[in-house]
Amino acid sequence: MHRAFRRSVPRSVCRGAGMPSPGPEAAAHAYDRVVSTRVDYDGEGLDEADLAATPLEQIRRWVEDASARHTAAGDVPEPLALSLATVDADGAPNVRTVLMRFLDERGPGFVTALTSTKGREIAGNPRVAAALVWPSMFRAIRFRGVAHEVSREEVEQYFDTRPYGSRISAWTSRQSEPIASRAALEAAYEEYAARWPELGAAGEVPVPDFWGGYRIVPDEVEFWGGRRNRLHDRIVLSRIGPGTLADAGAWRVHRRQP
Ligand SMILES: Cc1cc2nc3c(=O)[nH]c(=O)nc-3n(C[C@H](O)[C@H](O)[C@H](O)COP(=O)(O)O)c2cc1C
């Protein structure tokens, strides 16, 4: 059963407990102010001369910078958040966020339910696009490529590093399918937790067969650096031959207008 959004989300959650609700006019005014806010980007950008020796090194460099910034300044709350776009059977795009859990010379990867909407869409059309975006650093990396399922061995290795609760929730969630209520989801969690109690032993919770991961093998990688007056840098690496992200010769470097 669908309920109206207004009724199902308490005001205190949307606005912060105790805050008075503005009238509709004041709210519209505040919204106008928000959408007209302008931030001039004054990031360092990226120069062709400063590119790392291989695409993989350059990706790692920016991911490490974002991770260091997360620790030092706290304004990159999730350095590994990766927006992932797929298309459905009608060619209509879909986008959601996942966490980049793998990164090697083959490309970035993530874990998920293989039976989810994204899993079904990838099965129908493995071409995907993805982006790591770090607004506070005026940086983003875009990927276009093909999603390949991560091997069972890699998935199992990764699964064992997840906290117990996350391993149980992988069993609990039939990701993307409807469920009657929050209570039903929590009851399912308790059932799986009772089936595999936490003992602290390796492999105590098996990997669900409907759960796994995908790696994006890119044919284009773009490094975007926000700069002053919207004159941003866009350094694009396009695949020109066989090879991985660790083979400089497999990629052509060019610059696109912002
Ligand atoms: C910061 C963040 C990280 C997320 N990480 C993952 C993830 O690693 N894997 C995943 O399946 N879903 C993740 N999600 C949830 C997805 O965005 C999405 O709701 C879910 O995968 C279902 O997508 P689908 O129905 O299009 O398949 C994350 C969401 C956010 C906001």
Domains delineated in the chain: 42-154+210-255 (2.30.110.10)
**What percentage of the chain has pLDDT greater than the value 90?**
82
Give residue 97 CA to ligand 1 midpoint distance, Å.
5
What is the mean predicted confidence (pLDDT) over 51-56?
Answer: 98
Give residue 68 CA to ligand 1 midpoint distance, Å.
24
Which residue out of 70, 94, 111, 112 has the highest number of ligand 1 atoms within 8 Å of its CB and is therefore the one to mutate? 112
Which residue out of 76, 78, 88, 99 has the highest number of ligand 1 atoms within 8 Å of its CB and is therefore the one to mutate? 99
Cβ distance 214 to 230 under 8 Å?
no
How is residue 9 written in tokens? 């989300």
Which helix H or strand E contains 58, and what residues bound it?
A: helix 55-72
In the prediction, which pLDDT does 32 show? 80
Shortest-distance Cα residue to atom 22 of ligand 1? 176
Question: CA separation (Å) from 214 to 54, 62, 84, 100, 224?
Answer: 22, 22, 11, 10, 24
What is the mean predicted confidence (pLDDT) over 86-111?
Answer: 98
Cβ distance 147 to 128 under 8 Å?
yes
Is pLDDT at 122 greater than 80 in this prediction?
A: yes
Question: How sure is the predictor about 19, in pLDDT bands with cuts at 50, 70 and 90?
Answer: low
Q: Given the residues 152, 195, 230, 256, select the one marked as catalytic.
A: 230
In the prediction, which pLDDT does 21 show? 66
Question: CA separation (Å) from 162 to 66, 155, 221?
Answer: 22, 11, 29
In the prediction, which pLDDT does 245 show? 98
Name residues contacting ligand 1 (CB within 6 A): 78, 81, 94, 96-99, 110-112, 116-118, 175-176
The answer to whether 255 is a known catalytic residue is no
What is the mean predicted confidence (pLDDT) over 163-176?
Answer: 98
Shortest-distance Cα residue to atom 4 of ligand 1? 98
Give residue 247 CA to ligand 1 midpoint distance, Å.
31
Atom nearest to 94 CA in ligand 1 = 26
The Cβ of residue 3 has, within 10 Å, a number of other Cβ atoms equal to 8
Is pLDDT at 80 greater than 80 in this prediction?
A: yes
| Alpha carbons 212 and 155: distance in angstroms, whole number | 6
In the prediction, which pLDDT does 6 show? 43
